[in-house]
Structure 1
Amino acid sequence: MPTSIPLGAPIWADAVTPDLSGDVDFYMRLFNWAAFDSGEQFGHYTELCLGTTVSEARAVAGIAEGASGGAGSSWGVAFHVGDCVQAVAEAEKLGAAITSHPIRVGDDLVYAALRDPDGGAFGLFEPLSEKVGFTARNEPGAIVWFEYVYDGAPAEAMQFYSELLNWSLKDAEGGEPGEDAAYVGLWTHGGHGIAGRQVEFGGARMALGPELRMKPHWTVCFGTDSVDLTASKAVDLGGTVAVAPVDDPGGRMAVLTSPTGAYFTVMSTRE
């Protein structure tokens, strides 16, 4: 296996935007990221990293140019699978819809895009090289958490992913979640050299307020030393604050949007 990221866990996240240069500048200035353009051959797909040089860069996420004409932008997440073609076939049997069939990207990975039975978009990612996937996690400026937002019972929505990716679902006390649970913790097995250990990487929760008008979706959560300062800086850079900074059981958080409308969350990484 070319990566220590466990099977079934998030291995990559990226944004699609109609304004690539504008959004790259926004995220670079907001999180102090460096950007590395893959070139015209790969549609100028850009890797966003902590570190300023190629030798010290640690990958956080990616960003690609999508449709223009006011389509807006969004963040998405891809999960690690051992065989993308086989996993896509299994996902389809479980009720998923394929939006992009498995495609090999150079010598680095095989990727497919799908929608789960409730309509939430996600990707399946088979790494072929140790150079791909997250190399920065759980620190300021890197992704620290993933959430699925759903207008309904999270435990029901997560059964699809549990079967496809061998996840465990747990409630706040670590037991099996009831169907009426408002929040479900998501766990995968092993990884990062800790054989047999369950690793919590995210959660699924019921949609609230304005989210009730949105389709089910995955959100990415970036770490920061100060949620309030990051939210203020995002506004200065042309973004907006969708949910003002607030304290919750996991720490302080806020929901922000990029200038082109992509929703993402920032969370405090301080104890």
Structure 2
Amino acid sequence: MTTEIPPGAPIWADANTPDLARDLDFYMRLFKWSSFGTGEEFGHYTELCLGSTVSVARAVGGLAPNPPGDPDAVSAWGVAFHVADCFEAAASAEKLGAQIVSHPVRVGDDLVYAALKDPDGGAFGLFEPMNEHVGFTAYGEPGAAVWFEYVYDGAPVEAMQFYSELLNWSVKTPGEDEPSHDAPYVGLWTHGHLTGGAVEFGGARMALGPEMRMKPHWLVCFGTASVDLTAAKAVDLGGRVAVAPVDDPGGRMAVLVSPTGAHFTIMESKKLD
């Protein structure tokens, strides 16, 4: 294993987009990200980073133009999880009830990737790194991913059974001494993470309000120094606010929508203090 991110943990987040130029302008101005394109050979996939030059850039995610066969698909963020063997993990996922959307494929000399849908229809990826330069190199700080949340119209502990078997997660319900949540919730723990040791990297909760009309999905949460200022800036840049800033047990948060329709979360995480 060449990356510090252990198997089972989130290792990458990216979004498809029907308008690469528009989304790049939005995200780069919102989070002060820089971008590095891969060119025509890799479909103009673009890496998003903290830091303005290659020598200091630290990866936070990516943007992929929609394929020619579906150019108008609504943008959506997704998360991929680190596996030691993508072919083996994809086969195991299928046996557990997942649907393989795209079979494992090698991407240059960097990684092997497969796209799937879990038994409830939620999209996710399996990501086998082939060198130490792929995956998140910035994490848990303003401008980078800090949290991953699964939203599901049902009992979250049941939805997470699939992932716990596939990726060896621990799924934990909040204790009586922990802050209460507005809907049934479970914490998601992987055994070792970027900081070492068992770490809670995300959660799964029952859908609320308008979310109940949406398919089960993963929300990628990015850190920010001010949720309120970032939400207002997103609107100025052509995005919108789906869930207004609110204080959550994990910190102040809001759900935003990009100009091309991708939902994502921002958070003033207590972990950033």
Q: Shorter chain as normaliser: what TM range?
A: over 0.9
Q: 1:57 and 2:57 equivalent?
A: yes
CA–CA separation in structure 2 for the residues paired with 1:9 and 1:192? 9
Which of these residues, 86, 95, 98, is aligned with residue 97 of structure 2?
A: 95
Q: 1:162 and 2:148 equivalent?
A: no
Instruction: Sort the Cα spacing of 1:193 and 1:207 in 2 relative to 1 into closer, same or farther, 3 A.
Output: closer
Match for residue 31 of structure 1? 31
Q: Which amino acid aligns with 2:138?
A: A
CA–CA separation in structure 2 for the residues paired with 1:8 and 1:243? 29
Match for residue 144 of structure 1? 146
Match for residue 129 of structure 1? 131
CA–CA separation in structure 2 for the residues paired with 1:120 and 1:174? 30
Q: 1:213 and 2:213 equivalent?
A: yes
Q: Deviations over 1:86-114 (max 9, x none)?
A: 00000000000000000000000000000
Residue 199 of structure 1 deviates from its aligned partner by 1.4
Q: Which amino acid aligns with 1:264?
A: F
Q: Which amino acid aligns with 1:79?
A: F
Listed as ranges, the gaps of 5+ residues in structure 1 are: 176-180
CA–CA separation in structure 1 for the residues paired with 2:210 and 2:82? 31
Q: How does 1:244-255 map to 2 (within 5 A)?
A: 244-255=244-255
Q: Which SS does the other structure have where 2:56 is aligned?
A: coil
Residue 129 of structure 1 deviates from its aligned partner by 0.8
Q: How does 1:34-113 map to 2 (within 5 A)?
A: 34-67=34-67, 70-113=72-115
Residue 215 of structure 1 deviates from its aligned partner by 0.2
Q: How does 1:159-198 map to 2 (within 5 A)?
A: 159-173=161-175, 182-192=184-194, 194=196, 197-198=197-198
Asked if the contact 2:60–2:137 (Cα under 8 Å) also holds between the matched residues in 1, the reply is yes
Q: Deviations over 1:173-220 (max 9, x none)?
A: 299xxxxx80000001124473xx211100000000000000000000
Residue 6 of structure 1 deviates from its aligned partner by 1.1
Asked if the contact 2:66–2:72 (Cα under 8 Å) also holds between the matched residues in 1, the reply is no
Q: Which SS does the other structure have where 2:253 is aligned?
A: strand
Q: Scaled by the length of structure 1, what TM-score is found?
A: 0.95
Residue 69 of structure 1 deviates from its aligned partner by 5.5
Listed as ranges, the gaps of 5+ residues in structure 2 are: 178-182
Q: CA RMSD in A?
A: 1.5
Q: Which SS does the other structure have where 1:185 is aligned?
A: strand
Q: Which amino acid aligns with 1:265?
A: T
The percent identity for this pair of structures is 75
Residue 62 of structure 1 deviates from its aligned partner by 0.4
Q: 1:234 and 2:214 equivalent?
A: no
Q: Which SS does the other structure have where 1:28 is aligned?
A: helix
Q: Deviations over 1:4-38 (max 9, x none)?
A: 10110000000001001110110000000000001
4+ long deviations beyond 6 Å = none
Residue 254 of structure 1 deviates from its aligned partner by 0.4
Instruction: Sort the Cα spacing of 1:224 and 1:257 in 2 relative to 1 into closer, same or farther, 3 A.
Output: same
Instruction: Sort the Cα spacing of 1:2 and 1:234 in 2 relative to 1 into closer, same or farther, 3 A.
Output: same
Q: Which SS does the other structure have where 2:48 is aligned?
A: strand
CA–CA separation in structure 1 for the residues paired with 2:209 and 2:64? 30
CA–CA separation in structure 2 for the residues paired with 1:237 and 1:174? 42
CA–CA separation in structure 2 for the residues paired with 1:193 and 1:216? 29
Asked if the contact 2:36–2:47 (Cα under 8 Å) also holds between the matched residues in 1, the reply is yes
Residue 70 of structure 1 deviates from its aligned partner by 3.9
Q: Scaled by the length of structure 2, what TM-score is found?
A: 0.94
Match for residue 178 of structure 1? none
